[in-house]
Structure 1
Amino acid sequence: MDAHAIPVLKLYETVNKAYVIPIYQRPFAWDSRKAEELMEAVLQDATDNAKITSLGTLLFCDIPDANPFGNNSPTTIAPSTMWEIVDGQQRLTVFAIIGYALNERHKTLVKEGLVYSPPLEFDMLFSTSRTRTGKTVPVLIRDGDNYDTGFQSDLAGMLNAFAGHGKWPEGAGRRLVDTRNAIVKWVNEELKADNFARFSDHFLSKCTVVQVVADDQDTAFTMFEPLNSTSEPLTAFEVYRSKAVRQLAAQFPKTELLLDYDESKRDEVISRSNTLIFSMAQVNSGDRPRIHFVPLKHYLDGNVTPQFIAHFEDAADFFRTVWFDQTATDAWFDDEAKNCVRFLKAMSHDIAIPLLLRYYLTQRADVGKVLKIVVAFYSLWRAAYPTNALPKTYRALLNQGSVDDLSIAGGQPLKSPPDLAAYFKGKLSEKVGALVANQTIEQKWLVETNLTYDELKTLCRLFIFIDIGATIKSNLVPNDPWTSVDDVEHIHAVALAPVPANVHRIGNLTFLPSKVNKSLQDAPWEEKREVYGWLADPHKAPAAAATHYASTGRAVHKAAKDFINDATSSALPHLVDIAAHATWGHAEIEARSSAMLGRVWNVLYGSWLNP
């Protein structure tokens, strides 16, 4: 590694050298005012005869592959020395535009009588050449540009136009255009015959940058984060994309849709990129690299192959259309599969993602079944036990050296859904532990399960859905049944004294239409019982005619009346058994909890874990 503080002119005094902005760098993003502030600071220091003006650190490394920016023939006009800009593209772009503006202003002032020779020709800030007499070309380009076959980027097109070799690029980026116009305007207005030489000398000779040249990309990227105090951090994918484009001309349309650079905040881009790569490492080879830039980059560096890129793109599609947005149109992705995903997300059960992704990449038609298996296993485990032992259960399925390693490179055949379900049933049995004489696994699970709404709201919602015989989707709630909506009813009101100790137990919970639920929040059991009976059969004449509760004489709430009298309201038969109780308290809640959990066990263990 080499690091020196050098004047600006030292960046450009070598012929046959240029800089490339890699594809992982975002487009030019400086506001024009920022460029003006830089020049104002330089002018002030020049006026004050300051000894030095620091313009920050520039971090470079050699292009790691063969020069892809020319045709590599003896007749190429591509500079033979190319440095990759790891940090500093914004400033180098501004330097190039300043060089152009100074060059044009200098021509005008010379015609008006100015006698001045700069310490470096201004055009060297925006152009270079293979030989001193060769054709000038842009000194700064972007990945994808080619000196021999043409420039694709706005930046290279602009610098080429500065050198007089082409027209101004049509449709150039707004920030680039605005900055170019602002710099030219500032130079023309602020630099006159009496201060032009002073400004130019100071800018070229006394404005300094710390030039850091790393030995290799890994070193450069390791240094980038601590040096990068004002810009945004890179992601391992952005570096990988640059390498894959150069070596394989690879394209990443699905990954770019997932990362959504234009609409997503940078933290979200980084998080999605890291999750994608980390999951791919587990799925592809059973590796579990740390979620950190350098180890993720190392992993990707070893996987620049067409097959890996195809899987990488499909994985990005999984995350966008299945995990994040639930917009996949595959036949297996029905409402039940969609809401299984939503449930796992609502429970933050991300540890299952690599397993789901593994099936998505190579056995996609089974993903719907795998989702139900995962939901059933996780729900039964979480209802009775903490999750601290769960990660190793999943990791054993995608772990180098494990007898159950199902990673693509693991050598084990991918389990069929029944075999996967058997694996999870075995792990659940191990967790439940030894049984006493004549005891079943279900009986011990029931004893150890104390599911309460104040601790596990989302899991309670799932169990209520299953208990009432619904699929995960229900007409009682919006399309996403895991959002926080006020439709979970505490049958014994939490605010109604005396409060049973088990008031939050699963047996004290049911679903009501949200408006009706709110109207009954603090109602006594006698009134709730009447309303439940009406809701179970809302078109009964006595219910429709009732204006007051028979039990208390109080007026029936308008929300309940509106629902009962609405011809489109469906009957809610899951309330029939509840309304049959003359009283409701601790004993009723315990009995209903046991009955509900038994029914849920039969569905999840008896059906979902037996695909």
Structure 2
Amino acid sequence: MNDLSQLRIEAAHKKISEVFSKDYAFTIPAYQRPYAWETTQVEELLTDLTEAMGPASKSDGFYFLGSIVLVKKHGSPNARVVDGQQRLTTLTILFSVIRDLTEDTVKRVSREKYIKQVANEDEGIPEALRLLLRQKDQAYFEKHVQMIGATNDLPVKDGLSGAKARIIENARTIRNKLEEMGEEKRSELLKFLLQNCYLVVVEVPTPTAARRIFTVLNARGMDLSATDILKADLLERAGEHKEDNLSQRWEDIEISLERGKFSDLFTHVRMIFERDKPRTSLENGFPVQVPVFRDDPLSFMDTVLEPFADVFLLSMDDVELRNRFGHKTADLVRSLNRLDNKDWLPPLLLCLQQSNKGDNVDVAEFVFQLERLAYYLFMVRADVNVRMNRYADVLDVLEPPVDRKPRAGAKERSTGLELTETEVFALFNALDGDVYLATRVVKPLLLRLEQASHDGSANYDFPTISVEHVCPQTLEEGSQWAEWYSDAEDHSYWLHSIGNLVLLNFRKNSAARNYDFEKKKTKYFAPGDTSPFTLTNEVREFESWTPEDIEGRRKELLKRLAKAWGLKDAFKKWWKSE
């Protein structure tokens, strides 16, 4: 039976002198985000404090610094910070700078006690720092802030990032402000801060209660992401004895992927396990759909998070993809990345993960079929539900479900990676339409066509790539274009088609769009005598650009795509039907 005295929640307003005392030994849990206050927030705090202690202040002689939430059992100083890390860290920097600027040696040593607990053998109190940051940041924080004299010689910020950069930047800001004050003014500030500034301290006795408060605070607007909440959940399930190890491994992955991609990874992993469109938030659905996360945190790290992070990084590493699977596979992954969605990524990650495990999977063939399927869904503008159901079927092909119930709302199974004849016809109908008007489609499509038009040795990482009409949209009276396209219906029919479009590696020039064909070829399409794009150079070989020329060009380009996607026979049937 629980001891009710250990379950109570305490809340009280306390002076800063009471907070930075032997009653509290603060630690920042591993699940917390790094120290992140910007200099503007530090400057605002210093301004508020100096104004509040002034004679014209309307604060009635005290200043409220907000609240902090701690996991702390009654009678023990050990306090894990659930909320309040930013303020406690900034106050520690402030105390450290005041200490190091103190001219009187005796006072300087005395002021050390706000940063470090002085040992008292008679009372059984050991020497200890008042605040310990996350394990990853603590050594740096102690060396450059908490050690006596550390802020007298702050390192340069160049080359630093994250919490380290914020620590140094804010320490320098505080030091510059306090140096301007002079000794007497700094002593007044310290006295005011200790005796007239207050925090509301909420003490929660158990990690479970802390987890609930942590989640509630997030719902109330704390700047936490779904992965922050999942991290807290995982570490709580793992227990304190595994917390440091798992937290360090988690953060190593987060740093390697960066925060946005790290969140994307969880979305992709959830899809690999759930194989359906998510119907709950990531933080709520992930523990349900990925049972190992809930049941065995260490196994989750070993068998899920780290392996899938490795292949996620691999999927973005063009050089390594070429080394392991050949240039064609790397080019196809690059082609996939041009699409306006990433729904294809979970199947790719599962395939690469199986390859890394040593499973018998043909990565090159899988990527070839996946890219073809992705472009079919892209060209026909399949909605997200259709895409996710189709990719779920692909996942089932890669890793057949064991005792899996039919997906909610799932209809008849698709052909997975394979395209039916009906789907191939739909693909070529889309390719044969006014592709220029599909603004999110046209550039990836032409770059895919460009890729199918050479041996794979060229890359197109230009800062600017634009799409241009060969026959212009506006026909000037008396021009060569007006003569070739005297029939307005011909002009309208061919204008936005795949056969009338080329790529440029610079921004379009509106003044050049109506050049006659010969001038456009030499002065606009290839101002330096050549174009880096095969498609554009091929157009330069034409003597004329009539409707008949575009029609022939259109068939050639469609045949080229059919060959690239292994659809030559189906294309012939489609062409006959058209």
TM-score clears 0.5: yes
Match in the other structure for 2:53: 43
Distance 1:571 1:595, change over 3 A: closer
Q: Distance in 1 between matches of 2:305 and 2:503?
A: 42
Match in the other structure for 2:270: 281
Please tell me the residue identity of whatever aligns with 1:142.
Answer: L
Q: 1:584 aligns with which of 526, 546, 549?
A: 546
TM-score (norm 2): 0.68
Please tell me the residue identity of whatever aligns with 1:135.
Answer: P
Is residue 458 of structure 2 the alignment partner of residue 493 of structure 1?
A: no
> Whose radius of gyration is greater, 1 or 2?
1
Q: Distance in 1 between matches of 2:226 and 2:315?
A: 26
Is residue 454 of structure 2 the alignment partner of residue 470 of structure 1?
A: yes
Q: Distance in 2 between matches of 1:422 and 1:504?
A: 32
Match in the other structure for 1:178: 172
Q: Distance in 1 between matches of 2:151 and 2:523?
A: 74
Match in the other structure for 2:27: 20
TM superposition shift of 1:91:
1.7
Q: Distance in 1 between matches of 2:533 and 2:337?
A: 31
Match in the other structure for 1:563: 529
Match in the other structure for 1:8: 15
Preserved contact between residue 12 and residue 200 of structure 2 (Cα < 8 Å):
yes
Q: 1:219 aligns with which of 206, 212, 216?
A: 212
Q: Distance in 1 between matches of 2:10 and 2:202?
A: 4
Is residue 572 of structure 2 the alignment partner of residue 593 of structure 1?
A: no
Is residue 318 of structure 2 the alignment partner of residue 326 of structure 1?
A: yes
Distance 1:55 1:466, change over 3 A: closer
Q: Deviations over 1:15-61 (max 9, x none)?
A: 46411123443246453645533531442379767164221232333
Please tell me the residue identity of whatever aligns with 2:470.
Answer: I
Q: Deviations over 1:174-230 (max 9, x none)?
A: 24653674587477534488x57xx73x5345422233445534323323336666x
Match in the other structure for 1:255: 253
Match in the other structure for 1:315: 308
Q: What does residue range 234-245 of structure 1 map to in structure 2 within 5 Å?
A: 235-236=227-228, 239=232, 245=243
Deviates more, 1:54-63 or 1:441-450: 441-450
Secondary structure of the 1:480 match is coil
Q: Distance in 1 between matches of 2:46 and 2:134?
A: 27
Preserved contact between residue 63 and residue 197 of structure 2 (Cα < 8 Å):
yes
Q: Deviations over 1:469-493 (max 9, x none)?
A: 425x475xx5338x7524x553322
Secondary structure of the 1:305 match is helix
TM superposition shift of 1:504:
0.5
Secondary structure of the 1:83 match is strand
Match in the other structure for 1:457: 442
Please tell me the residue identity of whatever aligns with 2:378.
Answer: R
Match in the other structure for 1:272: 261
Q: 1:141 aligns with which of 132, 144, 148?
A: 132
Match in the other structure for 1:203: 193
TM superposition shift of 1:351:
0.4
TM-score (norm 1): 0.65
Secondary structure of the 1:60 match is strand
CA RMSD of aligned residues (A): 5.2
Match in the other structure for 1:383: 379
Distance 1:318 1:449, change over 3 A: same
Q: Distance in 2 between matches of 1:375 and 1:574?
A: 25
Match in the other structure for 2:461: 480
Q: 2:369 aligns with which of 363, 367, 373?
A: 373
Q: Distance in 1 between matches of 2:143 and 2:393?
A: 53
Match in the other structure for 2:159: none
Secondary structure of the 1:225 match is helix
Distance 1:605 1:16, change over 3 A: same
Preserved contact between residue 96 and residue 151 of structure 2 (Cα < 8 Å):
no
TM superposition shift of 1:315:
3.0
Q: Distance in 2 between matches of 1:446 and 1:56?
A: 63
How many correspondences in the alignment? 505
Is residue 139 of structure 2 the alignment partner of residue 153 of structure 1?
A: yes
Secondary structure of the 1:350 match is coil
Q: 2:89 aligns with which of 86, 90, 93?
A: 93
TM superposition shift of 1:153:
2.0
Please tell me the residue identity of whatever aligns with 2:492.
Answer: A
Secondary structure of the 1:423 match is coil
Is residue 344 of structure 2 the alignment partner of residue 349 of structure 1?
A: no
Secondary structure of the 2:343 match is helix
Distance 1:216 1:322, change over 3 A: same
Identity %: 15
Match in the other structure for 2:297: 304
Q: 2:355 aligns with which of 363, 371, 374?
A: 363
Distance 1:595 1:189, change over 3 A: same
Q: Distance in 1 between matches of 2:526 and 2:20?
A: 83
